[in-house]
Amino acid sequence: MRIGQGFDAHRFRSGRPLVLGGCVIPFERGLEGDSDADVLTHAIIDAVLGAVGLGDMGTWFRPDDPTVRGARSIDLLRRAVKMLADRGYRVVQVDATVVGEEPMIRPLVPDMRNELAGALNVLPQDVSLKGKSTDGLGWLGRGEGLAALAVAQVVEAR
């Protein structure tokens, strides 16, 4: 068994859809980034890659790569999971937290869990998602963007 942790943060930007956990979220602003800027999925990718010592997302999915620019992050997660499989590992469980004042993600968690579980090749109950605020503290508390943290447990595939 191996464990990896991940973190990502993006600032809000008008004129873009907000994507979290592979789902388009009804909100007036999206996140700035080279791909769809899905901060939750990016943190999970870092956790999955880190669990097997493959570094971070930027090592494998560079902004100057045309397959990354404008990409759906959920598809990048599928690629990361395949990288694990190619090295003899599979994901067992993911626990992740989205940090920001809004939007409230609790009502959206079932859809995000299903989407992420499909990409991770696990059951939805093996994906735990939470939303937390900073009670108005710092750049997250001022509503300037979102951050996400994730932990992934992987085991040797058998």
Residue 45 and residue 76 in contact, taking contact as beta carbons nearer than 8 Å: yes
| pTM across the whole model | 0.97
Structural domains of the chain sorted by starting position, each given as residue range(s) with its CATH number in brackets: 2-156 (3.30.1330.50)
pLDDT value, residue 68: 86
Q: What is the pLDDT of residues 49-99, one digit of tens each?
A: 999 999 999 999 988 888 888 899 999 999 999 999 999 999 999 999 999
